[in-house]
Structure 1
């Protein structure tokens, strides 16, 4: 039991490292929480700086993967690895370093579960990519892929405990997208684009309050 608590605590603390916030603060001297959507995740950071956004994506995913890997090194079984994944997601979403106001957990969740059930994550990422390519809604892709992940895990034969803890982590991520879901239902959610931000703004394609999902 004590080792289980330690596994969860380590995962939470690793997950709570706010890489997006730190990268923008150190490199540009600004607070990403006061820009765009106010989210510290990769999508919002990407709109501020492409390289910082990509690095945020990799680091947020990496900390989740590391959290679960450490659990494995400590002798955790698949169920406890899934609990470590949940801990990393909760750390990212409710980071202790930013008054428990963090990101939405998509990248961290992907990295975490990649270390638990890689086949399910690869399939989930394929679905995510397809939805983004078709709709250009990252939020929609995030929600649909997240909702599908437990099903993929079940189909790939993961233990039921892994699936159930995976459901818990996915619920956290989807709930954090509640504002995006409302905008999608109203038809006011903005689509993601790689083009110049100023050009998009000139076309009326960006509302700063609607950016960010990862």
Structure 2
């Protein structure tokens, strides 16, 4: 049954996506729980804010890599002759969605994970690398001007579907179209508190000292 194939794809993607690299790296190298620092988030931004810039960069890279590998793994699963074949695009779409869900809701951390920005980048590169790079450029530009990681993340996520549909591409299947739209919405929704702080002028701006932020 094709349902079994999709189930295997989703479980592998969720498992890869749920690896909490930020939590593991800070625990391993600093013997601390990143959830007790800053915003309490396990993502790269909070790792950097905790004072571990190198670990923050590594967290971002590994979180993006797991998203990329999770989507690529869908193709590897379809090479298993014991499973019924399904459309590759559909399998990749399901893998992308469940990799993000794994990062945001990791079973190992009581389903309290990150906001999915880095993992979404890895997923997007696997699905459509050129629109993903364009969205990354948006992130870098907005962050360079505003110094708000949250604002840059929100606008970059929102821009990806635009680039994905405007850039030359092969015909997208319905599941792929849904995932291209849903994943950015999930990432933006996870930033609801940041949006509230941005509107109130209380959002953390990178480069501010703790004293000036207070």
Query: Does TM, normalized by the shorter one, top 0.5?
Result: yes
Find 2:179's aligned residue among 155, 162, 165.
165
In structure 1, stretches of 5+ residues that fail to align are 208-214
- Kept in 1, the 8 Å contact 2:89–2:173? The answer is no
Task: Report Cα offsets for 1:8-59 as digits up to 9, x if no partner.
Answer: 1100110000000011111111110011000000000012201110110011
RMSD: 1.4
Alignment of 1:201 onto 2:210: yes
Matched residues in 1 for 2:8 and 2:108: separation? 19
> Partner of 2:82 in structure 1?
none
Task: Report Cα offsets for 1:84-135 as digits up to 9, x if no partner.
Answer: 1111100000010000000000000100111111011001001111100111
Find 1:55's aligned residue among 45, 50, 58.
58
Alignment of 1:185 onto 2:194: no
> Partner of 1:210 in structure 2?
none
In structure 2, stretches of 5+ residues that fail to align are 79-86
Find 2:91's aligned residue among 77, 80, 91.
80
Matched residues in 2 for 1:163 and 1:153: separation? 9
Structure with the bigger RCO (C-alpha within 8 Å, sep 6+) is 1
1:170, CA displacement in angstroms?
Answer: 1.4
Matched residues in 1 for 2:10 and 2:180: separation? 14
> Partner of 2:72 in structure 1?
69
Q: How many residues align?
A: 200
- Kept in 1, the 8 Å contact 2:43–2:59? The answer is yes
- Kept in 2, the 8 Å contact 1:82–1:113? The answer is no
Larger Rg: 2
Give the alignment's TM-score, normalised by structure 1. 0.89
Give the alignment's TM-score, normalised by structure 2. 0.89
> Partner of 1:151 in structure 2?
162
Segment drifting more, 152-161 vs 5-14? 152-161
1:167, CA displacement in angstroms?
Answer: 1.2
> Partner of 1:105 in structure 2?
116
